[in-house]
Amino acid sequence: MHNYSTTAAVAVHSDLLSLSHLRRQEFQGLLALSADLRSRNPFGQFLQGKSVALIFEKPSLRTRVTFEVAIRQLGGWPIMLGSAESRLGEREPIQDLARNLSCWVDGIVARVFSHHDLEDLALFASIPVINGLSNSEHPCQAVADLLTLMDVWPSWSGKEFVYVGDWNNVSRSLWHACSLAGLRFRAICPDKYGPSQAEPVEWSTKPSDVKGADAIYTDVWASMGQEDELEERLELFRPYQVNEKLIAKTGKHTVFMHCLPAHRGQEVTDSVIESDYSLVFQQAANRLPVEKAILVAVLGAGIQTEKAGAKRKNGGQL
Ligand code: CP
Ligand code: NVA
């Protein structure tokens, strides 16, 4: 049985840019805190008096809405920057933006094209920065995905999580999340679009390697910012489509997962995404309690955490 304690979340502090910066206990604490906050009614005013700036360089439905709702439900005040102010480094240098926001608000959620820009933002901000998706990671999504799996599997023991498709921000954070949770992770990707040599991921190129998978996860074949590569990717990725035939090859009562938005008919078929083994809407629902837990953990809002001020001393990262 999963036996995670909320108190472990107290160790999460400072920025959340990558799950690779978290210790196992911190990650498990985030899952426990998410489950705790999900069941609270009333919600708990953990962000009372706190303002959080939201910077989105790219479109978003789930991340933007769940962070806005989470901040409001916890008694805080979300401030969505307009598109003209949200392109990092365009209107003014990132360090100036970071230092200005640090004067007025208590935290920043940023969705960016370049992870390097996000690191700069975090370095120059004296307030916590949360990664709402970068080209390299999508940590908030991966926490929600593991919470979803905790809801359907009583333990990770003997379970195999298999990611199929493009090795990208979503898969990288899932890989970190599974490693922190102690869940076996494998990836199946086309040769040209697999993990880099620097990433010690167990992976292969054969779609039939889904055999034995208890969960199949996929994501779009061309992420935001790669739209002009879609045509050439379509053909290469076609054998990696998650359809009923591929699901049958698992030989298991597998569950299907996708972070959404999905391109139905490309990486996944309608019949799979709408099936009774699809968890996509539970994943989306879990984004809300997970954003709450992340906010409470990094802003140190009412549940004891290390002070955001510690950022300056350790260079701004967990
Ligand atoms: N899954 C996810 O992050 O969705 P959005 O791009 O709509 O935020
Ligand atoms: N990999 C996708 C995820 C969207 C939530 C992208 O970056 O566009």
Are 122 and 193 part of one and the same domain? no
The response to whether residue 260 sits with its C-beta less than 6 Å from ligand 1 reads: yes
How far is it, in rounded angstroms, from Cα 298 to Cα 163?
29
Are 267 and 148 part of one and the same domain? yes
Active-site residue identified among 138, 186, 233, 258: 138
Active-site residue identified among 141, 241, 266, 283: 141
For residues 3, 9, 11, 16, the Cα torsion angle rounded to the nearest 10 degrees is: 120
Are 155 and 229 part of one and the same domain? yes
Mutate to test the pocket of ligand 1, among 55, 58, 63 (most ligand atoms within 8 A of CB): 63
Domain interval for residue 173? 139-284
What is the predicted pLDDT for the residue at 76?
97
Are 266 and 301 part of one and the same domain? no
The CATH number for 45's domain is 3.40.50.1370
Q: Total domain count for the chain?
A: 2
Are 174 and 45 part of one and the same domain? no
Q: Which is higher by pLDDT, 85 or 312?
A: 85
> Residue 105 Cα, ligand 1 centroid: separation in angstroms?
24
Res 293 pLDDT > 50: yes
**24 pLDDT tier (thresholds 50, 70, 90):** very high
Are 147 and 95 part of one and the same domain? no
Of 52, 180, 45, which is closest to residue 105 (Cα–Cα)? 52
Are 249 and 200 part of one and the same domain? yes
Tokens of 136: 């390299």
Mutate to test the pocket of ligand 1, among 65, 109, 143, 260 (most ligand atoms within 8 A of CB): 260
Q: How far is CA 40 from the centre of its chain?
A: 22
For residue 166, indicate whether it is catalytic.
no
Of 308, 303, 290, which is closest to residue 47 (Cα–Cα)? 303
In a domain, 318, yes or no: no
- The model's pLDDT over 245-274, given as tens digits with 9 standing for 90+, comes to 999 999 999 999 999 999 999 999 999 999
What is the predicted pLDDT for the residue at 7?
57
Mean pLDDT over residues 84-99, rounded? 93
Are 91 and 226 part of one and the same domain? no
As a whole number of Å, the end-to-end CA separation of the chain is 28
The response to whether residue 61 sits with its C-beta less than 6 Å from ligand 1 reads: yes
Are 268 and 159 part of one and the same domain? yes
Are 15 and 84 part of one and the same domain? yes
The number of the ligand nearest the C-alpha atom of 258 reads 1
Which residue's entry shows tokens 């879609």? 230
What is the predicted pLDDT for the residue at 84?
85
Res 288 pLDDT > 90: yes
- The model's pLDDT over 193-241, given as tens digits with 9 standing for 90+, comes to 999 999 999 999 999 999 999 999 999 999 999 999 999 999 999 999 9
What is the predicted pLDDT for the residue at 13?
52
Are 30 and 91 part of one and the same domain? yes
The number of the ligand nearest the C-alpha atom of 137 reads 2
